[in-house]
Structure formats: C-alpha cells, structure tokens
Amino acid sequence: MKIAIYYGILFAFAIFIWAVIESLVGLHDRYIQYHEYLSYFFAVPSVAIMFWGIRSSRNQSDSRTGFRKAFMAGLGITLVVTMLCPLVWYVFCVFVNPTFLNNMMHYAVETKGMDAQIAALRFSLSNHILVSTISTSVIGVVIAFVIAIIVARRKN
C-alpha cells in the first residue's frame, strides 16, 4: 500500500507539474490552439510512473510478477491519483493559473464555434475537476491493465 500511495502522489505531482509547464510555455493562453494536441504527450510520464510503481510492488524474492498482483498495484496507484486529482486541479485553477478555464472557454467559443452557455458549463471549475478526475481514473485503469499484462509476461 505504501508503494501505491508513493506512486499515486508522484503521479498527481506529475499532473500538476505538467499543467504548470503547459502554462509557462503558453499552452493556456497564446498557444492555446496546440493545447489539446500537446497534452497527449503526458502519456509518456504517466505510463512511466505507472510502470515503475507496478514494478516496485513486487517482492525482491519474486523473479516474476503475476497479472493479478501487477494489476492490483496499478489499481492502487490509480485510486490514489484519482483521489488527489480534484485537489491538484483546484490548486492549479484557483491559485496557479486562474485564467486557464476562462481562456479555454473563450477559445472554444471563438475558434471552435461552441455555444457560449455550453462552453461556460464545460469549462467551469467543477466540471473540469469532474471530467479530469473521471478521465484520470479511466486512463489509469487502462494503463494499469496494459502494464500488468506486460509485467506479468516478462521474465525478470
């Protein structure tokens, strides 16, 4: 459980740092049109963190980790990061970059042609936290599943 907590916190911290970096390089304002595409690159650190966490969960005496144990370790990490996700996005959107969601809303209306009322709902803080939390949990489960298959098949 300590490993799941450690890697879940690390994962949540990585989400926060990634958002800060996006903000600093302008993906939340002047280069907002690239945000949705460049955000996919967060898959690299998220997969790496999940892989390290699952690998760390095995006993040193075991030369092989079974699928079930690896998947459960990944689910533990996912649970921790899912619980921390609302806090991460609240802190980021309220204290670090309070204009982020407003910029996203204006971009959706002006460039994508989204209705202003729908955009206001879509990019509200509560909705962003909800969508981010759900997507983090779903993506975490998928990543844990795939990595568990890989780790279980390897003969280390």
Whether 155 shows a pLDDT value over 70: the answer reads: no
Whether 156 shows a pLDDT value over 60: the answer reads: no
> Of 19-28, 43-52, 120-129, 146-155, which gets the smallest average pLDDT?
146-155
Over range 11-37, report the average pLDDT: 97
Average model confidence (pLDDT) across the chain: 93
Grade residue 122 by pLDDT with cuts at 50, 70 and 90.
very high
pLDDT at 59: 60
Over range 1-24, report the average pLDDT: 97
| Domain residue ranges of the chain, discontinuous segments joined by + | 2-95+129-153
Q: How far apart are the first and last CA of the chain?
A: 23
**Tokens read off for 9:** 């916190």
Q: Which residue has the higher pLDDT, 154 or 2?
A: 2
Please tell me the pTM assigned to this model: 0.91
Under 8 Å between Cβ of 123 and 108: yes
pLDDT at 61: 43
Under 8 Å between Cβ of 93 and 100: yes
**Tokens read off for 138:** 């779903």
pLDDT at 51: 95
Whether 111 shows a pLDDT value over 70: the answer reads: yes
Over range 70-98, report the average pLDDT: 97
Cα dihedral 71/13/36/52 (nearest 10):
-30
From residue 111, give the alpha-carbon distance in Å to each of 34, 99, 104, 115. Answer: 12, 17, 10, 11
Closest CA to 51 of 11, 9, 5: 11
CB atoms within 10 A of CB 37: 9
CA dihedral sign of residues 110, 111, 116, 120: negative
CA 147 to CA 18: how far, in whole Å? 22
**Tokens read off for 140:** 């975490």
